[in-house]
Amino acid sequence: MSILIAENLTKVYGRKGARLVALDQVSFEAKSGETTLIMGPSGSGKTTLLLLLGTLLCPTAGRVLLDGRSLSDLKVGDLSSARLQTIGFVFQHFNLLASLTAIQNVMVPRLAAGLGKKEAERQAAVMLDRFGLAKRQHALPADLSGGEQQRVAIARALMNSPTLLLADEPTANLDSRTGHEIVQTLSRTAKEEGKIVIIVSHDPRIQDIADRVISLEDGKIKERDGRKL
């Protein structure tokens, strides 16, 4: 079983009088097979936390451990490799490349990992079929619905079989029904494939899908699984 540990994560911007504490000694654990939902209003620090977990930001203090390995202590080159091999990202605005078809977008992580184009295309086709997009694989992002674009983004995030899947507001640009389906897809992926899934959202309608809910306010954890700290 894989375990993600956030250990006293702190992020401070600026210096002296202009200091802004975006995250203040946040600690929690997440396990494979589970979906953790991090909630909070705008400015609560939840996106900063997600970026720290994904090694896209360096903490001012504290560290992120994945299976006992400190990601926060890795050198720049090793960080890039760790992201490619162990972390998948799903973004609010999908972040699909507009000039590439669905299958070409999904191929990108496998090509970056050094896989040949033919095999990457085969694997991408299998992944898209799994998400019900076999007939849409040659469509450009502009020709896909919001739900289809988000499913392509999830397929892309899973292509290198990451241990950790991070989703930043994955329902924000979707209607309630489609958004609920997307979160169910993420939760099902956690359970069926043993992934650690972390979702950042301010949407209370998806709380029932998560195995664990953590609420942030002013950079600190205020509630964990509905219990006041």
Average confidence (pLDDT) over 127-155: 95
| Statement: residue 82 has pLDDT above 70 | yes
Question: Tell me, what's the pLDDT at 227?
Answer: 44
45 alpha carbon, distance to own chain's centre: 15
d(CA 113, CA 81): 9
Give the pLDDT score at 19: 84
Look at 210 and 75; give whichever has higher pLDDT: 210
Q: Is 210 helix (H, G, I), strand (E, B) or coil?
A: coil
Find tokens 């997600």 and name the residue.
50
Averaged pLDDT for residues 166-175: 90
pLDDT at 16: 72
Alpha-carbon distance 97 to 215, whole Å? 33
Task: Please tell me the predicted confidence (pLDDT) of residue 78.
Answer: 83
What is the DSSP track for 87-145? EEEE-TT----TTS-HHHHHHHHHHHTT--HHHHHHHHHHHHHHTT-GGGTT--GGGS-
pLDDT, tens digit, 9 for 90 and up, residues 15-69: 777 788 999 999 999 999 999 999 998 889 999 999 999 999 999 999 999 999 9
**Distances from the Cα of 220 to the Cα of 8, 12, 199, 200, 229, angstroms:** 10, 13, 17, 15, 10
Average pLDDT over the chain, rounded to an integer: 92
86-116 pLDDT tens trace? 999 998 889 999 999 999 999 999 999 999 9
Output the pLDDT for position 74. Answer: 85
The pLDDT tens digits of the residues spanning 184-218 come to: 999 999 999 999 999 999 888 888 899 999 999 99
**Contact in structure between 54 and 87 (CB atoms under 8 Å):** yes
Q: Give the model's pLDDT for residue 226.
A: 55
**pLDDT for residue 228 is more than 70:** no
Predicted TM-score (pTM) of this structure? 0.91
